[in-house]
Amino acid sequence: MVVMVLLMCLVSTLLARSLSVRARESRKTDALTSAHAALNIMSREIANSGFGIYDGAVSQNAVNGIILADSDANQIHFRANLSNTGDGPINPGCPAVCTNEVNENVTYFFDDATDSIVRYDPRATPTTSVIVNKISNVTFSYFDYADDGTSTPEPGNNNPSDTTGRIRLTVDVTLDPVEGQPQESVRFTSEINLRNSNYMLRQY
Interval 69-90: pLDDT, tens? 999 999 999 999 887 765 555 5
**Lowest model confidence (mean pLDDT) among 118-122, 154-158, 193-197:** 193-197
pTM over 0.95: no
Better pLDDT: 89 or 161: 161
**Lowest model confidence (mean pLDDT) among 22-36, 52-66, 150-164:** 22-36
**Lowest model confidence (mean pLDDT) among 4-13, 14-23, 29-38, 93-102:** 14-23
% residues pLDDT > 70 (the chain): 75
Considering 1-5, 90-94, 130-134, the range whose residues carry the highest mean pLDDT is 130-134
Q: What is the pLDDT of residue 179?
A: 64
* Confidence class for position 161, pLDDT limits 50, 70, 90: very high
Q: What is the pLDDT of residue 27?
A: 63
Return all residues near 9 (Cβ < 8 A) that are at least 6 apart.
none
Contact present, 168 and 189 (Cβ < 8 Å): yes
Q: What is the pLDDT of residue 13?
A: 66
